[in-house]
Chains A and B, each alone.
Chain A
């Protein structure tokens, strides 16, 4: 089994530590998608520690849960979580985007733990519909999850897949929306509004839950089981882009901004303080 027995407090501590590793990896790579990695990190932490039946040991088991990261650009957070779960040694994070590295700047199946190559937006949900249909055909116990960005929802292929997921009553499918409300050019509502996004998914035949995407208990509750029999689940996770680093939070330029030496130092100092505070409470 892939699940761990971490408390909310343990997960909070781990998230801070993984944020530091994510930032260090982006700094080392000289490239990456900082803001979105930080916004989805708590979601990934909950998925890989509490929800997904996925581990290095069972990764070839046909009955493992499937996770496809549709917002592939937030790969640094995913790589950090996979390293933490033992899919590969943590030192390898230092090779992200380096010449001849297997660690491409978007998810690739060359890396243990990655199901599908993603990065072009609007691809994860259709793939997951296919995976979920396969699961239904086989009466298999696995669930299928994807993570979407809110800017990504402008891609029409998402809505083709949303229609099909409801048509085929795929209650083994959960789409998580990392709703950080920012995309590369600015506020999603200004670039191409997708609101009311909850009503859109409901109108397409999905069961929708809205949670705080940085609250471990809320995420766990929403992701633990399908929301409604016979319907795919959409978990809208309200998040903050750049979460955990004061000067990056809710600032569009950190979509793919890479911290300078000084900025990294300041960011790590923010996170060190958060870590120390959490340890005090413990």
Chain B
């Protein structure tokens, strides 16, 4: 009998989620696939492009329901991005879907030139991002993608935290007139937002107010920051939590406000600590003269430990307990 898959949440974290009224949803990737299908049924110009990735992109039902709106390119990510750009240049709203690890490394030049430099309104969807593939190892991790995509001009970079942000990101990407990259993981996610929440590209969403410490987080790490804020509150520490769903353009106003109003800043991301959200926030804060105790939580610049996404998160302190501990240390 195999060992049970380790949970992303400790029993205490699950109890905190319940206390905060969070409900477990589905994987953001499932939300993406359902939203894209809904849009594509209403608009025949919406095209999904896959590189033998329709299964991992949850686009099997899309391919069955709308075969004429799915272009399969085989295992060829460079071609995937070039074709996605060509479709967009000829009036299609094309969504190129491929694992982030391949999409943002092997075909980075196509993203830079064919999509961003040529300025076609294509959408690139990085799936199974960060350490979603867990023990499959570094070939399958994308811990560089935010850094390299931040360094390419003319690209909107969205990393949704929950099903709500995922749906809103796809709705916004479908309407965008410039290139968009959306980064998804594949774990089931707690819902973090009320349905009436306003989603706007480039505007962080504040999930919780507080002035002792600010968690500035993105993607699948946001929930852990929110749980940590709940735990810290039990010790009388008030933590602000920002979901930075748009990593570029960065909501510098929300970040500077947090920097000015809170005693310490912790950024959290499923990415190497080099070049991602943390360094973007540090740059914004320092260039405005805001200097507070500051810590970047992410994957360190080393061989990533082997394990599931949950193992890796816990190992590097991306958990309710780990983040609460980091906050306590920083506030000492």
Contact = CB atoms under 8 A, between A and B. Distances in A.
Contacts of B89: 66, 115-116, 127, 130-131
B86 A123 contact: no
B41 to A, nearest CB: 16
A276 interface: no
Given A62-B91, A133-B87, A161 B82 contact: yes
A179 to B, nearest CB: 22
A164 B74 contact: yes
Interface string B282-293: 000000000000
Contacts of B78: 122, 126, 156-157, 160
Given A116-B118, A164-B73, A164-B76, A134 B113 contact: no
A163 B90 contact: no
A46 interface: no
B87 A130 contact: yes
Given A126-B79, A130-B85, A120 B92 contact: no
A133 B83 CA distance: 8
Contacts of B74: 160, 163-164, 167
Interface in B175-192: none
Interface string B79-119: 10111111111111010000000000000011001100111
B90 A135 contact: yes
A117 B118 contact: yes
Contacts of A120: 109, 113
A271 interface: no
Nearest to A142: B90
A10 B73 CA distance: 43
Contact of B86 (A122, A129, A163): A129
Contacts of A130: 82-90, 94
A131 B84 CA distance: 9
Do most interface residues of chain B lie in helix, strand or loop, or is the interface mixed? helix
A62 B110 contact: no
> Which of A125, A126, A133 lies at the interface centre, i.e. has the most chain B CB atoms within 10 A of its CB?
A126
> Which of the four size classes fits the interface of chain A?
20 to 34
B118 to A, nearest CB: 4
A22 interface: no
A116 B86 CA distance: 9
A109 B81 CA distance: 19
A127 B85 contact: yes
Contacts of B85: 116, 126-127, 130
A160 B86 contact: no
B74 to A, nearest CB: 7
Interface string A128-172: 111111110110000000000000000011001101100110000
A123 B113 contact: yes
Nearest to A121: B109
Nearest to A132: B86
Contact of B114 (A116, A138, A167): A116
Contacts of A115: 89
Given A134-B91, A137-B68, A163-B74, A118 B79 contact: no
Interface string B152-171: 00000000000000000000
B117 to A, nearest CB: 5
A129 B82 contact: yes
Nearest to B92: A134
A15 B84 CA distance: 35
Given A119-B113, A164-B74, A133 B79 contact: no
A122 B87 CA distance: 17
B299 interface: no
Contacts of A116: 85, 89, 114, 118, 120
A116 to B, nearest CB: 5
A131 B114 contact: no
Given A128-B86, A164-B73, A164-B74, A123 B114 contact: yes
B83 A129 contact: yes
B87 A126 contact: no
B226 interface: no
19 contacts: A66-B90, A115-B89, A120-B113, A123-B110, A126-B78, A126-B79, A126-B83, A127-B85, A127-B86, A127-B89, A129-B83, A130-B82, A132-B86, A133-B71, A134-B86, A134-B92, A137-B47, A160-B73, A161-B82
Interface of A: 62, 66, 109, 115-120, 122-123, 125-135, 137-138, 156-157, 160-161, 163-164, 167-168
Interface of B: 47, 68, 71, 73-74, 76, 78-79, 81-92, 94, 109-110, 113-114, 117-120
Given A137-B92, A168-B71, 10 more contacts: A123-B113, A125-B82, A130-B85, A130-B86, A130-B87, A133-B87, A134-B90, A138-B90, A157-B78, A160-B73
